[in-house]
Structure 1
Amino acid sequence: MSETSTGFKREIKLFDAVMLVAGSMIGSGIFIVSADIARSVGSPGYLLLVWALTGLMTLAGALSYGELTSLMPRAGGQYVYLRESYGPMVAFLYGWTLFLVIQSGTIAAVAVAFAKFTGVLVPWFSEDHILLDLGFLKLTTVQLLAISSIILLTLVNQQGVRNGKFIQNIFGSTKIIALFALIGFGLLLGTNAEVMELNFTDMWNAQTVSTEPVSGTPFRTPLQGWALMVGIGTAMIGSLFSSDAWNNIGFSGDEIVNPKRTIVLSMAIGTAVVTLLYILINVVYLTILPLEGYKAGADVMARGIQFASNDRVATAVAEVIGGSTATIAIAVLIMISTFGCNNGVILSAPRVYYTMAKDGLFFTNMAKLNKNAVPGVALTFQCVWACILCMSGKYGDLLDYVIFAVLLFYILTIAGIFILRRTMPDAPRPYKAIGYPVLPALYIAMASFICIILLIYKPAYSWPGLILVGVGIPVYYFFKNKFQKIAD
């Protein structure tokens, strides 16, 4: 295929971009992680505060990040911004971690979530239904469906960005409408005056909750001062990951119509809509289920939000509202949500690997576009690795390990605004970060605080991630020596 500049086709318009932002952000997290947050902070007020702070941080990041997208609206997004701010090694370490764990691990985790909730409708899909057992490796029907969904979405996106955006528009708009409908039905039909009095009378009595391993008896420890700040910081891990992928639209810069305007607007609209949805959904949770509960509780009300079965708070809420019928409806909603989320992630990330290969820092074949003007080889590599992670079952551990690294790369990227204003002062910036320098500094401060908390109090969530990133340094020199002359 002959290429003009990059060879990409500009097919993504504003609505498509908003659906990519919002659709990639909303996966399965909002239906699950509120349980862990409720155990970490132990009060309705602080549960809502965690989601509000997450929304503020995400919006601050998106509104700041927009300056970089308008300055360099090219394929590769964050990789390109890091390369121009810090040089190729830092950019490669980001791309390496993105491929190895962040995006591929997310694809695997979201695909497995899709398959698990499909099991609510079709019980044949179960983690207990083992198709193959080699001792060191097991294949369940859930893994089989997860892998099949990854392969299907990869094949769809191999056919061109128009196909990928069509899937995203359908599934993205459907789940947003369905979530607003869930909020409406919950507030109209599910509110419980006794639960509301219980949750909202004393909203700010923060306490962390753990359970005795044998009896399951909860231990509630009051949180004040620095302990409360630590509790909020660690609780935000889940909510931040549930709100992640807002920046993925930047990866497709060369495929976006009027990218200097569209990327900024889509991130602002998409993150605002998702933030509003997330806060309202948690309000619904608190009007239907008591926050406090017991792991050994006999029913959903006794278990509460804190100990909803398998942390599936949304499913517990549905059971209260409409029994088994509503539970099935929630399962379908989560299936739609996870399928659409994975389509957005699968579509976006290969543009980074394509750009890395163009720079001579990844496999040479990844720098090629197929006949449909998409990075077909990069899509295939991503598919294979995500499927391997599905088979291994280790994607969850890997994602835990890189939480710190993800935040670190966001900090470096937003800090790049300050660097590029100094090193590229005359470059055209159709959009400049709102509230500069305060808003970008606010994001950096909030993200840095969470990183410090992780380093001190959650070393299992920080040091392994740094090691994974560090392993990329010798890999960088290997790729540079092997492929850079070919790229040049």
Structure 2
Amino acid sequence: MTNPFPAADQAEALKRDIGWLGSAVIALNGIMGAGIFALPGSLAADFGAFAPLMIILFGLPIFLIALPLAEVASFYDRTGGPVAYAREAFGPFVAFQTGWTYFVARLSAFAANVTVFAAYAATLAPVFESLFARTLLIAGVIALFAAANLASVRHAVGGLKALTILKVAPLLALALYALATQGLSQGEVRLPEFSEVETASLLILYAFVGFEHVVVLGGETKDARRTIPRAMTATLLATIALYFLVQLAYAAAMGDDDGGKAPLAAFGRTLLGEAGAVIISLAALFSIAGNCLSSAASTPRLAYALARDGLLPGWFAQVSKTRATPDNAIVFFCGLALALALTNGFALLAVVSTLARLLVYAVSLAALPIVRRRREAPPRRGVQKILAPAVLALGLAFCAFAVAQSKLDSWRVFGALLLVGAVLYAISRRAGRPAG
């Protein structure tokens, strides 16, 4: 059989308004949020002149996950991404666990990035350093993202395109200026101890995850089976190159200085004085806003997909008749994100997000051989017969290694959020909604 769920693949209530460029900016903004503005300082302090190579060391192995994920995405043109993969391969219960885990990953990342947004806003306007003003800012920003997504997915993607230019252009220009005026770092390149790499691994990975945002929007993407894999892999490669360039420039200008709470603002100040700090702080705000808008656009679609398949209460699957947006899911996501952002710090939320994503990546990769068999995919030929299974196995091993670095406090927060999902799942089952 070619498709076990043909009707489900076609019966979407959402409009297909996203093209290749829209998919690319969703993927880019999914990756590029707070991480690149927080990471260079800690990498420089911990690894010195070796820091740029850490970007490559952890950036390229991400393709061990991205390539199999792109292949499994090529079989689907419906909303849900990992929910759809797990449902077809492993059944409705695993689909729910996968979908809710991914919802938790995206939710905690969104909350983490909003806290960094508030921190960078405070560097420009110290009034936001007070708890009351910070709380109002976080609530206002989340409400703005909710409003943009309640309007329509087309409006959200349009905003992402503008934010992409506003955040990439200053970073790229300042990095090139630093390399032109400072040259390459003259520091000693010291190979780090393995234990040092282990300690930094999850925070480094946090700067790279998010490329998969686009797979969730399959039901709103034109020619999704071709568009999504190409946009995802091309964007990931471009982002790794940009991150490497920024880390190289930071090492040249700052050496092993960690730059304090806002390392790239300190980097800009070193190069261009206060004007440079302001430019980078604004770029950080645009970058984080783009990442959060990308999350607010795609994550509620996970709750919609779970409810559509009978795995969450039907309330989450309600779609606006005039705007074709999952309004209830958007409001639920933004409300829960506000609670998390006001009660937890960036580092813990970032690690929780990375932990949850890695588990979802592992399920999605494990689904690939089953989906290929059920969809009667053409047999692999030549070097692909050896290379593709090897990449898949290495990708799963990479996920297992990274998950093993998680600490107990991150598992506690993750477990509490899973409990919320279990309650919602029980409500759905008690209501007698058919799974799938």
TM-score with structure 1 setting the length: 0.80
- Kindly indicate whether residue 126 of structure 2 is the aligned counterpart of residue 166 of structure 1: no
Equivalent-residue separation in structure 2 for 1:437 and 1:419 (angstroms): 13
Equivalent-residue separation in structure 1 for 2:385 and 2:75 (angstroms): 11
CA gap 1:154/1:285 in 2 versus in 1, 3 angstroms: same
**1:331 maps to amino acid:** S
Bigger drift between 387-396 and 235-244 goes to 387-396
**1:28 maps to amino acid:** A
1:30-179 equivalences under 5 Å are: 30-40=36-46, 42-45=47-50, 47-99=51-103, 101-126=104-129, 129-130=130-131, 140-179=132-171
The answer to whether the Cα contact below 8 Å between 1:112 and 1:143 also exists between their aligned partners in 2 is no
CA gap 1:89/1:468 in 2 versus in 1, 3 angstroms: farther
The answer to whether the Cα contact below 8 Å between 1:107 and 1:386 also exists between their aligned partners in 2 is yes
Equivalent in the alignment of 1:318: 268
The answer to whether the Cα contact below 8 Å between 2:101 and 2:360 also exists between their aligned partners in 1 is no
The answer to whether the Cα contact below 8 Å between 2:106 and 2:353 also exists between their aligned partners in 1 is no
Equivalent-residue separation in structure 1 for 2:390 and 2:327 (angstroms): 41
- Which of residues 302, 327, 331 in structure 2 aligns to 1:380? 331
CA gap 1:169/1:435 in 2 versus in 1, 3 angstroms: farther
Give the deviation of 1:414 after TM superposition.
1.1
CA gap 1:319/1:175 in 2 versus in 1, 3 angstroms: same
The answer to whether the Cα contact below 8 Å between 1:360 and 1:479 also exists between their aligned partners in 2 is no
The answer to whether the Cα contact below 8 Å between 1:66 and 1:433 also exists between their aligned partners in 2 is no
Give the deviation of 1:459 after TM superposition.
4.3
Q: Pick the structure with more helix per residue.
A: 2
- Higher Rg of the two aligned structures: 1
Give the deviation of 1:427 after TM superposition.
5.1
The answer to whether the Cα contact below 8 Å between 1:63 and 1:433 also exists between their aligned partners in 2 is no
**2:176 maps to amino acid:** G
The answer to whether the Cα contact below 8 Å between 2:107 and 2:337 also exists between their aligned partners in 1 is yes
The answer to whether the Cα contact below 8 Å between 1:360 and 1:483 also exists between their aligned partners in 2 is no
Equivalent-residue separation in structure 2 for 1:415 and 1:483 (angstroms): 31
CA gap 1:402/1:252 in 2 versus in 1, 3 angstroms: closer
- Which of residues 371, 392, 403 in structure 2 aligns to 1:440? 392
Percent of matched pairs sharing the same residue: 25
The answer to whether the Cα contact below 8 Å between 1:36 and 1:235 also exists between their aligned partners in 2 is no
Equivalent in the alignment of 1:478: 426
Equivalent-residue separation in structure 1 for 2:150 and 2:305 (angstroms): 17
Equivalent in the alignment of 2:190: 204
**2:72 maps to amino acid:** L
CA gap 1:477/1:233 in 2 versus in 1, 3 angstroms: same
The answer to whether the Cα contact below 8 Å between 1:32 and 1:314 also exists between their aligned partners in 2 is yes
Equivalent in the alignment of 2:318: 368
Equivalent-residue separation in structure 2 for 1:159 and 1:410 (angstroms): 31
Equivalent-residue separation in structure 2 for 1:269 and 1:353 (angstroms): 27
1:263-412 equivalences under 5 Å are: 263-291=228-256, 304-305=257-258, 308-310=259-261, 312-370=262-320, 371-393=322-344, 396-401=347-352, 403-412=354-363
- Give the SS at the match of 2:328: helix
**1:73 maps to amino acid:** D
The answer to whether the Cα contact below 8 Å between 2:175 and 2:245 also exists between their aligned partners in 1 is yes
- Kindly indicate whether residue 418 of structure 2 is the aligned counterpart of residue 414 of structure 1: no
Give the deviation of 1:25 after TM superposition.
1.0
Q: Any unmatched runs of 5+ in structure 2?
A: 1-9
**What is the count of residue pairs matched by the alignment?**
423
- Give the SS at the match of 1:345: helix
**1:278 maps to amino acid:** Y
- Kindly indicate whether residue 9 of structure 2 is the aligned counterpart of residue 6 of structure 1: no
CA-based RMSD of the aligned residues comes to 2.6
The answer to whether the Cα contact below 8 Å between 1:43 and 1:205 also exists between their aligned partners in 2 is no
CA gap 1:167/1:392 in 2 versus in 1, 3 angstroms: same
Give the deviation of 1:397 after TM superposition.
3.2
CA gap 1:279/1:483 in 2 versus in 1, 3 angstroms: farther
Equivalent-residue separation in structure 1 for 2:53 and 2:68 (angstroms): 22
**2:317 maps to amino acid:** A
CA gap 1:356/1:426 in 2 versus in 1, 3 angstroms: same
**1:449 maps to amino acid:** F
- Kindly indicate whether residue 379 of structure 2 is the aligned counterpart of residue 426 of structure 1: no
The superposition leaves residues 216-264 of structure 1 with CA deviations (integer Å, 9 ceiling, x where unpaired) of xxxxxxx3xxxx2x32233121121111111010111011111111101
TM-score with structure 2 setting the length: 0.89
Give the deviation of 1:466 after TM superposition.
6.5
Equivalent-residue separation in structure 1 for 2:89 and 2:435 (angstroms): 21
CA gap 1:110/1:465 in 2 versus in 1, 3 angstroms: closer
Give the deviation of 1:283 after TM superposition.
0.4
CA gap 1:394/1:331 in 2 versus in 1, 3 angstroms: closer
Give the deviation of 1:433 after TM superposition.
11
Q: Any unmatched runs of 5+ in structure 1?
A: 131-139, 207-222, 292-303
